[in-house]
Amino acid sequence: MKTQQGIVLFFSLIVLVLMTLIGVALAVNSTQSLRMAGAGSERIEAMASAKGGQDKVILANTGNTFTSMTAISQIVDNDLGVTNTITPLIVGDVGCQRNVKGNSVAILCRRFEISSASTFGRNNMGLVTVVVGIEQEVN
């Protein structure tokens, strides 16, 4: 009977080591999950900043500013951390893509591409770019 007391101690130590290994593996896994979730939220925040930067550029340049623009323009928004690039697609007026059945008068427009880039992540290594095309009616 006395020889079995050492075996019980040995098996209890093995169970203790296994439980410690399982606990360490779970802690490492949860840390990696938190990092991945943080990176995902930073990407979503960068996308929202890029879209907000586009909205600010469109609002600030509506009307005569868009219709008189002929060269590529780059606008840096430090508040949102976004770089916006406005590119005229065609220099001059073109027919709008809108339906003319409403008033049967041809409407002329100018087409632009607005590209917004926002960085995110550790050392700003991630980059989200949102591109949208718009038409501005020319009077």
The predicted model scores a pTM of 0.67
Count of domains in the chain?
Answer: 1
- Per-residue model confidence as pLDDT tens digits over 84-137: 999 888 767 777 776 656 666 777 888 889 999 998 888 888 889 999 988 887
**Residue 47: other Cβ atoms inside 10 A:** 16
Given pLDDT bands bounded at 50, 70 and 90, which one contains residue 61?
confident
Q: Report d(CA 22, CA 115) in Å as an integer.
A: 48
> In this structure, are residues 112 and 66 in contact, taking their beta carbons and an 8 Å threshold?
yes
Nearest Cα neighbor of 53 from 134, 137, 130, 112 is 130
How far is residue 40's CA from residue 46's CA, in Å, rounded to a whole number? Answer: 10
The residue range of the domain holding 33 is: 3-137
